Amino acid sequence: MDRLLSAARPGERDWLAGQFQAWRPQLHALAYRMLGSLRDADDAVQETWLRLDRSDTSAITDLRTWLSTVAGRVCLDMLRSRKASRVHYTGTWLPEPVVSAEPGEGPEEQAVLADSVGLALLVVLGSLTPAERLAFVLHDVFDVPFDRIAPVVDRTPEATRKLASRARRRVRQAPVPDPDLAQQRRVVDAFLAAARHGDFEALLEVLDPGVIFRSDIGPARPRQPRLGAQLVARHILATAPRFAALAASVTVNGAAGALFGPPEDPIAVIAFTITSGRIAVIDLIADPGKLRARTGAGEQKPPPDVKTSAPLM
């Protein structure tokens, strides 16, 4: 791209705003991968615009790389602040889910769901150090050169390359979902039917022997992951039959999932990672704050009754 015109005059600023809007879905997808939070991703994108609006744009030769790098820096600062605030957090922390009746309803959702950004992968990204995550996301997903990433993470280009390499090895350990969404739905339907009827053997048929069950109920109610088909099946049958009738089939981060309760006031969202025709990971999100963010009501939506239980806990 040619050098951008200075955005000092109103007409030129409008043009710059139009350019930013064109890249906004990609920036939102980048921020969501970095932060695992739709609300925080919105804030990061807005801060990126403010920094662009305050900058001397006459020196920018590649707007896409400039925006991606600045958004990455904003996300890095947010991750470091978040890490400090979670020193005493226990249990499982899961990302805010992207839920839709049909995949990719809008441009930002389409960008977020590109490359099947499942919750299991986001959990792996969340286990990386902030610098590793930034190096991997910017380089491997958004093609930003290492020499542009290095100043953001205060490393040399070669050290930044090593950060991305370490992150890449961790990401490769994440389960790879089956690509056929229709087949995924059949597996989830079989899981829900078995849960609804209390059929232990049918549950074992759809669960991978090494299945992982994670639940995020919120910081005040920590839960540790459960491992193994036998333990997970028994745990599900302890609570699932009375909730299964509330389940609706949805797409969660591009994969088959389930929403429990009315869409405007859900009890929980469950994401499934299905590999080789069996459920390898079950991620249950019942944190009221994350569900309020998903329904779009923000802080104005009253929290659900504290006595309400989430399914499959």
pLDDT tens-digit series, residues 198-208? 999 999 999 99
Cβ within 8 Å of residue 22, ≥6 positions away: none
DSSP of 110-167? HHHHTT---HHHHHHHHTS-HHHHHHHIIIIIT---HHHHHHHHTS-HHHHHHHHHHH
Q: pLDDT per position in the chain (313 positions), as tens?
A: 444 444 445 567 788 889 899 999 999 999 999 999 989 999 999 999 999 988 888 888 899 999 999 999 999 999 988 766 554 455 578 999 988 876 545 555 555 454 457 888 899 998 999 999 999 999 999 999 999 999 999 999 999 999 999 999 999 988 889 989 999 999 999 999 999 899 999 999 999 999 999 999 877 677 789 999 999 999 999 887 777 778 889 999 989 999 998 878 888 999 999 999 999 999 999 988 888 655 443 333 333 333 345 666 6
What one-letter code names the amino acid at 46? Q
Give me the CATH number covering residue 221. 3.10.450.50
Distance between CA 216 and CA 113 in Å, rounded?
21
Distance between CA 12 and CA 236 in Å, rounded?
58
Domain membership flag for residue 22: yes
Give me the CATH number covering residue 46. 1.10.1740.10
Number of residues that this document lists for the chain: 313
Side by side, the strands of the sheet bearing 268-275 are: 99-100, 247-252, 255-260, 268-275, 278-285, 207-216, 226-227
The verdict on 148 and 222 lying in the same domain is: no
The CA radius of gyration of the chain, in Å to the nearest whole number, is 21
**What is the number of structural domains in the chain?**
3
Domain membership flag for residue 186: yes
Domain membership flag for residue 112: no
The answer to whether residues 97 and 39 touch, using CB atoms and an 8 Å cutoff, is no
Query: What domain range is 276 assigned to?
Result: 181-300
Domain membership flag for residue 114: no
The answer to whether residues 284 and 310 touch, using CB atoms and an 8 Å cutoff, is yes
Q: What tokens appear for 153 in the block? A: 């993470």
